[in-house]
Amino acid sequence: MPAERLARQSAPKALGAPPEPLVLIATDRGRQIIRACCPAAEAEGLHPGLALADARAVLPGVRVAAHDPAGDAACLDWLADGATRWSPMAAAAPPHGLVIDISGCAHLFGGEASLVADVLTRLHRLGFTASHALAATAAAAMALARFGQTRVSDLPLAALSDQEPVQIALRRAGLKRVGEVAKLPRAAVAARFGEALLAALDALTETAPQPLDPRVAVAEIVAQQRFAQPIATTDAVLATLEKLLLRCAVQLGARGQGGRLFCLALYRADGHVAHVAVETAEPQRDSAVLLRLFDERIAALNDPLDPGFGYDLVRLAVPVTHSLDETQLGLEGGQLAETQLAELVDRLTARLGRGRIRRLARADTHIPEQASFDLPLAGSAPSQWPTPAPGEPPARPIRLFDPPQPIEVLAEVPDGPPRRFRWRRQVHDVTAHEGPERIAAEWWRRKDGAGLTRDYWRVEAADGRRFWLFRHGLYDREPCPPRWYLHGLFA
Amino acid sequence: MPSVARLVPPVSARVPAAAGRVALDGGRVDSALGGGLLLAGCHEIYGPGSTALALMLALASVRSGPILWLAAPRDDDGRLYGAGLVELGGDPGRLWLVAAGAALPMLRAAAEAQRCAALACLVIEAGSASAVDLTVTRRLQLAAAASGVFTLLLRAGPPKPSAALTRWQARAAPARRLVANVPGPPRLALTLERQRGGPADLNLELEWDRDRRRFLPANTIAQPAIPIGAAFGRHASPVGRVPAVVARRTPRPAISAQSTWRAA
């Protein structure tokens, strides 16, 4: 497979002409060893594990490229993504395998044989040669496909274990096939060759089924539409999406549920899959609202959807659902306003992303810049804010600088009010001030147990602007010479 | 996920205003505006006092519901402070901040928000973005008039042609003094520069009454008598908030942090 992937990347159009033999090499302890070869090279007698020097002796004109296991793994994941078109339970089996659980799906494709034919055709179109096998467990199918057998009992010992010492031990006991090992008593096998071998044997002989780890979680509510002629325009995609939303709404309605997460998967004809997901704050099944949200989400995607040669399968899945009763919308106020606000939040989230809509939250601390901060709207509850005393002017600014801006201040030492200060190259004369409000550092939170005290002043300048200044430190008691800062602007 | 019900606070008892309008001074300017500032419209505010005026107008409008604030992409003037909003008489839980990042996404979000009639106010901090031109303001005004969402557009720089209902210049004005020369409640000096279909070029000075959440025209406020021996409060207490002239040594003015001189 790695050689084919490379060939596909480098010459995607030259699928017709037989390529030159290609081998992929890696350096191992100073020697260059072949890790993978293409089918043409294998036909000439090269195999993985051969040194490059020996390979060149056999086939002087062989092409060489570096082995890229990470790229191979990524390509395998991409193929497994595309394989979800046949069944949601599809997983990659490294290094070169794909496992698809087709129980219950085969009838949709006209039987197992035609499903297998479809898989092989598509893989061949992408440039990969594949060998396949069907079995009742994943491990048995992988082993049968690898070794090209049709029955589990004919599999060689390498199917049970990759390790040399175990294979040597089995051969010394006179066993050559998996069928012979299966006939021995289980306790004897476990005692002589270990529990791991027994587990592998069980996996192959179908007594202990192994669960598959699917790439995408299987959703309860799914609706899909297949096209004989792939669709490529946005309008067609949206029309299909609307139909699928209606079908999902019917299914959700029958269960009395609404969906919170809707995943749209668009399968391209050349194997690529595009995913678009929309989530809502409240359970929803209204197709008009959801279509709107999908519209926003598709419009806000970073890379626009590229249909390529067209989508031939569109699937809508609803993985997260909650119960939703039929509610009577109020004629005015209350319920209707809530729904409108929830929908606005959903639309803005779909357009801008989660975490862009924030609310102000409160922390119980004296330090002003930590006392108020913003949290995302979705996951937070509103905080309780204390009500100010009536008849008093505002004690806190409406805008806060974080970090505070250093300024130059003319003031009496040690703790006189500021008389004049300079900020952003403009001098302000203080005509009225209120203060000092002393806020000490939270010494219990600091390692050194000390911190500079702040004296806050609420000042008004000659032009009427009101500022919140503070002196960071005390003149006599704290070590560094104090500095002045502007922390906020009042109304 | 908290229920959305908590985001919609109950309508508390407020000073009644003309239906669908915000009362400013109850006199000359209000009659020039036709009874007050129209809620179902888009208004532009220029000047350094735009944030303050926007918050006060949002609180003074007799509307329940969240205030959607589309924040400017740059943080030049600091962030909105929850405790400060409480001191203006508002509930910071009603304020929803949206950071759209750039001007165009912000305007699209504004178009979305204007379709939701349950909002108390929509504030768009456009700054000096060049994307906000005549067409955009006309669209904002039409949408505001159709859905009734109170839209405030905060702008900066030289005023540009726009289709908003009114254009204001807002800056802070000197507040009246309380005991011991302490600045009192916030005051704004407003100028109505332009009004579509009405008189303009009117000046106004308003004081914000945070307890009743309304504007008071500055020239009608009588100076309060200084209470003698009054109850506990910031005005009466001689220590704490009111600055005490405590001279430790002969007071000498010092420029902090930059000068090398300091009291020994």
Is cis: bond before B73, omega within 30 of 0?
no
Q: Does B83 touch chain A (CB under 8 A)?
A: yes
The pLDDT confidence band at residue A9, using thresholds 50, 70 and 90, is low
pLDDT tens per residue, range A179-197: 888 888 888 888 888 888 8
Q: Which of A65-79, A350-364, B238-252 has the lowest mean pLDDT?
A: B238-252
pLDDT tens per residue, range A373-408: 888 887 778 888 888 888 889 999 999 998 899 999
Is cis: bond before A60, omega within 30 of 0?
no
Choose among B177, B247, B262: nearest Cβ to A432. B177
Nearest to A416 by CA among B125, B248, B144, B175: B248
Q: In the prediction, which pLDDT does A3 show?
A: 57
In order, the DSSP letters of A86-141 are T-S-EEEETTTEEEE--TTTGGGGTSHHHHHHHHHHHHHHHT--------SSHHHH
Q: In the prediction, which pLDDT does B6 show?
A: 42
Q: Using a pLDDT cut of 70, give the percent of chain A over it.
A: 93
Q: Which of A33-37, A452-456, B74-78 has the lowest mean pLDDT?
A: B74-78
Those residues whose C-beta lies under 8 Å from the C-beta of residue A95, and which sit 6 or more positions away, are A1, A69, A72, A73, A76
d(CA A399, CA A487) in angstroms, rounded, equals 9
Q: Which of A283-287, A313-317, B57-61, B131-135 has the lowest mean pLDDT?
A: A283-287
Q: Does B127 touch chain A (CB under 8 A)?
A: no
The pLDDT confidence band at residue A72, using thresholds 50, 70 and 90, is confident
Query: Which of A298, A354, A374 would you mutate first to test chain B, the one with the most B CBs within 10 A?
Result: A374
In order, the DSSP letters of B171-183 are EEEPPPEEGGGEE
**Over 90: is that where the pLDDT of A423 sits?**
yes
| CA-to-CA separations, B135 to A185, B107, B110, B150, B182, in angstroms, rounded | 85, 12, 14, 19, 46
Q: In the prediction, which pLDDT does A218 show?
A: 78
Do B254 and B262 form a contact (C-beta atoms < 8 A)?
yes
User: What's the complex ipTM?
Assistant: 0.76
Do A231 and A240 form a contact (C-beta atoms < 8 A)?
yes
d(CA B215, CA B208) in angstroms, rounded, equals 5
**Over 50: is that where the pLDDT of A323 sits?**
yes
Q: Which of A4-13, A133-142, B202-211 has the lowest mean pLDDT?
A: A4-13
- Burial code (b: 16+ CB inside 10 Å, e: under 16) for A223-233 equals bbbeeeebbee
177-196 in chain B: CB under 8 A from chain A = 177-178, 181-189
Q: Which of A140-154, A306-320, B113-127, B250-264 has the lowest mean pLDDT?
A: B250-264
Choose among A281, A352, A394: nearest Cβ to B186. A394
Q: In the prediction, which pLDDT does B88 show?
A: 92
Specify the residue for token string 């669209």. Answer: B139
Q: In the prediction, which pLDDT does B223 show?
A: 55
Q: Which residue of B has its CA nearest to A422?
A: B255
What pLDDT tens digit does each residue of chain B (264 aa) get? 444 444 433 333 333 456 788 888 878 888 888 888 899 999 999 999 999 999 999 999 878 889 999 987 776 778 899 999 999 998 898 899 998 888 888 999 999 999 988 899 999 999 888 889 999 999 999 999 999 999 999 999 899 999 999 999 999 999 988 888 899 999 999 999 999 988 889 999 999 998 888 888 887 776 554 444 444 444 433 444 444 444 444 444 544 444 444 443
Average pLDDT in the A47-74 region? 83
Provide the shortest C-alpha distance from residue B14 to chain A (in Å): 15
Provide the shortest C-alpha distance from residue A451 to chain B (in Å): 18
How far is CA A324 from its chain centroid?
A: 28
Q: Does B243 touch chain A (CB under 8 A)?
A: yes
Q: Which residue of B has its CA nearest to A387?
A: B86
199-228 in chain B: CB under 8 A from chain A = 208, 210-211
9-28 in chain B: CB under 8 A from chain A = none
Choose among B82, B105, B172: nearest Cβ to A465. B172
The mean of the pLDDT values for chain A is: 82
**Over 60: is that where the pLDDT of A479 sits?**
yes
Choose among B95, B175, B189: nearest Cβ to A359. B95
What is the H or E stretch that residue A200 is in?
Answer: helix A195-204
Q: In the prediction, which pLDDT does B42 show?
A: 94
Note every long-range contact of A381-386, with CB atoms under 8 Å and residues 24 or more positions apart, other chains counting.
Answer: A381/B2, A381/B6, A382/B2, A382/B6, A382/B7, A382/B93, A383/B92, A383/B93, A385/B82, A385/B83, A385/B86, A385/B91, A385/B92, A385/B93, A386/B86
CB contact under 8 A, B84 and A342: no
What distance, in Å, lies between the first and last C-alpha atoms of chain B?
A: 59
How far is CA A382 from its chain centroid?
A: 29
313-342 in chain A: CB under 8 A from chain B = 334, 336-338, 340-342
For residue B77, list chain A residues with Cβ-Cβ distance below 8 A.
Answer: 399, 489
Q: In the prediction, which pLDDT does B222 show?
A: 60
Nearest to A75 by CA among A29, A144, A6, A28: A6
Question: Model-level pTM greater than 0.90?
Answer: no
The pLDDT confidence band at residue A6, using thresholds 50, 70 and 90, is low
Q: Which residue of A has its CA nearest to B97?
A: A358
Q: In the prediction, which pLDDT does B158 show?
A: 92
